[in-house]
Chains A and B, each alone.
Chain A
Amino acid sequence: MSDPEDFRRETRAWLEDNCPASVRAPVADIKYLYWGGRRAEFLDDDSQVWFERMLERGWTVPDWPVEYGGAGLSQSEQRILQSEMRRLNCRPPLFSYGITMLAPVLLEYGTDEQKSRFLPPIARGEIRWCQGYSEPAAGSDLASLQCRAVLEGGEYLVDGQKIWTSDADISDWIFCLVRTDPSAPKHDGISFLLIDLESGGVSISPIPLISGASPFCQTFFDSVRVPSQQRVGPENGGWSIAKHLLQHERAMLAQAIPGVRPPKRSSLLDVARRSLNTPQGPLPDAGLRDELVQLQMDRICYRATLARNTAAVRAGKGPGSESSMFKLYVSELNQRSEDWRHRAAGTEGLGWDGEGFDPEEIQATRSWLYGKASTILGGTSEIQLNIIAKRVLGLPD
């Protein structure tokens, strides 16, 4: 496959022949993608056919080495495949935290044995992974975590608790940060363990959110036995691995996932037009109008900042320091927009469920509430401000 044009032609032909028509459309939410795992179910038959065909070619993880279930594509081939999939609107056949977060870490720090044991089941969608980082007393200050692991004859005995573990109740394994040396400085006593959630002593309970959904759990470990071969990297050397993984997590949070497109909602202006009963012309509420313009202007300025960043990178001159504000600004802007939308909708926004309320507005209310998490997860807004002050502006500790 030396000639990129040959590769493009072959890829296009294969996708056209093999991607079922119903899979050539985005899903409304990331949860409708195929995540794999022991309890996984396909959305429909076509999704299964599509997954199996892609799997056979190593295209669930196209850039991984062939021996671990990938297709060994070069970066440029990977880009061609992505662009051809976009052209046809193909959904990714498999999506998971195993692929986006754990695998990059295993490929970088894992032993050969760990790679051959854990990577192929991720590629084949057999094992679903979740992230065990946060604890009740260790959130932003992650390195103060206390979940204890003591080495005893080739096995770790793990005792402690993780919290906010997204999807733990539907996952199979967890990658966990544990304390292996309580006497060392806090960053130097942490190890990175892989734990089967079916091990004896693990219990999981979901936490309901203000939006009504319950996407995350508390995960308890009570004398759970974990073979030492399931530690990635050296003992007490887990912190740099943890940070490496967080970089991959933030990259995932910052970009749109291909194949997922939230259903089109009424624009902010339409919401105000409806609640003010003003199908056209100037909005009679000058305050709401002024706030709406502010939101639109903020969005224009933010998009211009993204475009400036992309242009600088493309010209080989970036990314500039502006990239450090993206997560902070966009999560807050989205939150302000959702807040405004909810308030502008008036009583329509107060419905929880049932008859009598517009289903779109009920959905909007849920998404307003769920959106509250975006300034907390992946590093809170305050932590982002700390990072800007320290890394970009060089202010002292």
Chain B
Amino acid sequence: MSFVLSEEQELIQETAREFVRSQGSIDALRTLRDQRSEPGYDTKLWREMADLGWTGIPFPEEYGGAGLGHAELGIVLEQLGTRLVISPMLSTVVLAGGVILEAGSPEQKQNFLTRIVGGEAVLALAYQETPRHDPWAIATTAREAGGGYVLTGRKTLVLDGAAADHWIVAARTSGEPGEREGLSLFIVDRDTEGVSIESTFLIDSRSAANLSLDGVHLGTDRLLGELGSGAEVLETTFDRAMVAIASEMLGGIQEVFDQTVAYLKEREQFGVKIGSFQALKHRIARVFCEVELTRSIVTDAWRALDEEDPARSKIASTCKARASDTYHLASNESIQLHGGIGVTDEQDIGFFLKRARVCELLLGDSSYQRRRFAELSGY
């Protein structure tokens, strides 16, 4: 992958575009929102996505996957982002699936990845505990006891956490909150005793749960990866997930931008199209530049991950920061340039604004990413 799509990639893009055009719409999202019920996504649509092979894109063939790269995953997510399609792609395939692929034992991979690829299981990664992304702030503990572990703590913003069949929980087996060392990962089944779920819906209508773990007993076979090595696994997975989210964001950014340009050519005031006002021309031309830069860095991040570029963590942070800032800007500008209609629920723009804010905060907004970039660069 070097900026220009291959024929196979173009085919994937075309399939995804067609699928989203025929199946995804903001009206479908409105319906989902108004229902406000679990699982929070359209199960029939999810089934079709699995049948198209999208749940298997990043996984090796031995688990039924396609063994493709981050570029192919990003291409599909970008298209899903254009219509704000809600699905467990991020929670199950990118986050939980990513962690299992990275750290799972052969049996764990066989068991979980095969079911993820088949669209048979939804998994959720429970890592966050603080209002802002701060991956090492984890206070949830996993105490060794009776040949196993006992987990206690609270998790927030667990995407698809209420619908999930399994949760992957990050907990502290040593050290203090704030320390990178001492984190371990555990697989917790849905019906496990001591877990209580509080189902919530985010502003963008996605479902995310709060989990309480109150002395949850787990066997040693529930440990995912080596004891105490959770941070490395999370960090690798987060780099990939940041790029995946940015890919979805890119789709939404382009859509909100295109709709705004179209509106500038259509709406008239003072007897002329509002797009003839230079104040608006310059505002939208600035957004255009940001959209182009975002497209470039997202595409470059696909390459960096697929080639295992040594600078990939910095590129991933740059990519997530850019996508966050551009989606923020493009959705804000879009509302202002639409005038009153922009703040109505009838207009679609508001849905993009809400998705922009959720995506922005997931895995760290741009100020978090800049701090991380500085740390990775040694200053």
- List A residues at the B interface (Cβ < 8 Å): 269, 273, 280-283, 289-290, 292-294, 296-298, 300-302, 304-305, 307-308, 311-312, 314-315, 317, 321-322, 325, 328-329, 382, 385-386, 388-390, 392-397
Expressed in whole angstroms, the minimum distance between the Cβ of A306 and any Cβ of chain B is: 8
Residue from the list A321, A325, A328, A393 in contact with B284, Cβ < 8 A = A393
> In chain B, residues 348-379, which have Cβ atoms closer than 8 Å to a Cβ of chain A?
367, 370-371, 373-375, 377-379
A299 nearest in chain B by CB position: B318
A297-B318, A389-B281 are contacts. A396–B273 as well, Cβ < 8 Å?
yes
A393-B284, A395-B265, A395-B281 are contacts. A317–B4 as well, Cβ < 8 Å?
yes
Instruction: Tell whether, in the assembled complex, residue B275 and residue A315 are in contact, meaning their CB atoms are under 8 Å apart.
Output: no
Cα A280 to Cα B377 with chains together (Å) = 11
- Interface centre among A290, A390, A395, by most chain B C-beta atoms within 10 angstroms, is A395
The segment from B21-29, B157-165, B288-296 found at the interface with A is B288-296
Residue from the list A289, A329, A395 in contact with B289, Cβ < 8 A = A329
Residue from the list A280, A301, A302, A395 in contact with B275, Cβ < 8 A = A395
Hey, which chain B residues are within 8 Å of A304, CB to CB? Answer: 293, 296-297, 299-300
A312-B4, A315-B4, A322-B296 are contacts. A290–B285 as well, Cβ < 8 Å?
no
Asked if B195 CB lies within 8 Å of chain A CBs, one says no
Other A-B pairs beyond A290-B371, A386-B285, 19, CB < 8 Å? A269-B377, A283-B374, A289-B379, A290-B367, A292-B374, A293-B371, A301-B297, A304-B296, A307-B300, A308-B3, A308-B295, A308-B299, A311-B4, A322-B296, A325-B288, A382-B282, A390-B281, A392-B288, A394-B261
Cα A280 to Cα B278 with chains together (Å) = 47
B 302-340 binary contact with A (CB < 8 Å = 1; else 0): 000000000000110010011000000000000000000
Instruction: Tell whether, in the assembled complex, residue A282 and residue B285 are in contact, meaning their CB atoms are under 8 Å apart.
Output: no
Complex A-B: 25 CB contacts under 8 Å: A282-B374, A290-B374, A297-B318, A298-B293, A300-B314, A301-B296, A304-B296, A312-B4, A314-B4, A315-B4, A317-B4, A321-B292, A328-B289, A382-B282, A385-B281, A385-B286, A386-B281, A388-B288, A389-B275, A389-B281, A389-B285, A393-B264, A393-B284, A395-B264, A395-B281
Cα A293 to Cα B378 with chains together (Å) = 12
A390 nearest in chain B by CB position: B281
Asked if B130 CB lies within 8 Å of chain A CBs, one says no
Residue from the list A293, A297, A385 in contact with B285, Cβ < 8 A = A385
A297-B322, A385-B281 are contacts. A308–B288 as well, Cβ < 8 Å?
no
Hey, which chain B residues are within 8 Å of A296, CB to CB? Answer: 373, 377
Instruction: Tell whether, in the assembled complex, residue A393 and residue B297 are in contact, meaning their CB atoms are under 8 Å apart.
Output: no
Cα A296 to Cα B374 with chains together (Å) = 10
Instruction: Tell whether, in the assembled complex, residue A394 and residue B265 are in contact, meaning their CB atoms are under 8 Å apart.
Output: yes
Hey, which chain A residues are within 8 Å of B276, CB to CB? Answer: 395-397
Residue from the list A280, A300, A397 in contact with B318, Cβ < 8 A = A300
Hey, which chain A residues are within 8 Å of B31, CB to CB? Answer: none
Cα A311 to Cα B314 with chains together (Å) = 22
Residue from the list A281, A294, A385 in contact with B282, Cβ < 8 A = A385
Cα A129 to Cα B4 with chains together (Å) = 42
List the 3 closest A-B pairs by CB distance, nearest first.
Answer: A389-B281, A311-B3, A304-B296
A310 nearest in chain B by CB position: B3
Instruction: Tell whether, in the assembled complex, residue A388 and residue B285 are in contact, meaning their CB atoms are under 8 Å apart.
Output: yes
Cα A293 to Cα B320 with chains together (Å) = 14
B288 nearest in chain A by CB position: A388
- Interface centre among A282, A329, A393, by most chain B C-beta atoms within 10 angstroms, is A393
A328 nearest in chain B by CB position: B289
Hey, which chain B residues are within 8 Å of A396, CB to CB? Answer: 265, 272-273, 275-276
Cα A308 to Cα B1 with chains together (Å) = 11
Instruction: Tell whether, in the assembled complex, residue B296 and residue A293 are in contact, meaning their CB atoms are under 8 Å apart.
Output: no
B314 nearest in chain A by CB position: A300
Hey, which chain B residues are within 8 Å of A297, CB to CB? Answer: 318, 321-322, 370, 373
Asked if B2 CB lies within 8 Å of chain A CBs, one says yes
Hey, which chain A residues are within 8 Å of B272, CB to CB? Answer: 396
Instruction: Tell whether, in the assembled complex, residue B4 and residue A307 are in contact, meaning their CB atoms are under 8 Å apart.
Output: no
Instruction: Tell whether, in the assembled complex, residue A305 and residue B374 are in contact, meaning their CB atoms are under 8 Å apart.
Output: no
Cα A382 to Cα B278 with chains together (Å) = 10
Instruction: Tell whether, in the assembled complex, residue A293 and residue B370 are in contact, meaning their CB atoms are under 8 Å apart.
Output: yes
Cα A142 to Cα B315 with chains together (Å) = 42
Instruction: Tell whether, in the assembled complex, residue A300 and residue B315 are in contact, meaning their CB atoms are under 8 Å apart.
Output: yes
Hey, which chain B residues are within 8 Å of A311, CB to CB? Answer: 2-4
Cα A371 to Cα B296 with chains together (Å) = 26
Hey, which chain B residues are within 8 Å of A385, CB to CB? Answer: 281-282, 285-286
Expressed in whole angstroms, the minimum distance between the Cβ of B371 and any Cβ of chain A is: 7
B379 nearest in chain A by CB position: A283
Cα A282 to Cα B376 with chains together (Å) = 10
Hey, which chain B residues are within 8 Å of A308, CB to CB? Answer: 3, 295-296, 299-300
Hey, which chain B residues are within 8 Å of A393, CB to CB? Answer: 261, 264, 281, 284-285, 288
Instruction: Tell whether, in the assembled complex, residue A322 and residue B370 are in contact, meaning their CB atoms are under 8 Å apart.
Output: no
Expressed in whole angstroms, the minimum distance between the Cβ of B67 and any Cβ of chain A is: 25
A321-B292, A389-B282, A397-B276 are contacts. A293–B299 as well, Cβ < 8 Å?
no
Cα A385 to Cα B295 with chains together (Å) = 19
Residue from the list B265, B278, B293, B367 in contact with A302, Cβ < 8 A = B293
Hey, which chain A residues are within 8 Å of B379, CB to CB? Answer: 269, 273, 281-283, 289, 292
Hey, which chain A residues are within 8 Å of B282, CB to CB? Answer: 382, 385-386, 389
A323 nearest in chain B by CB position: B292
A389 nearest in chain B by CB position: B281
Cα A392 to Cα B272 with chains together (Å) = 20
A381 nearest in chain B by CB position: B282
- Interface centre among B272, B318, B321, by most chain A C-beta atoms within 10 angstroms, is B318
A293-B370, A393-B261 are contacts. A305–B278 as well, Cβ < 8 Å?
no
> In chain B, residues 1-25, which have Cβ atoms closer than 8 Å to a Cβ of chain A?
2-4
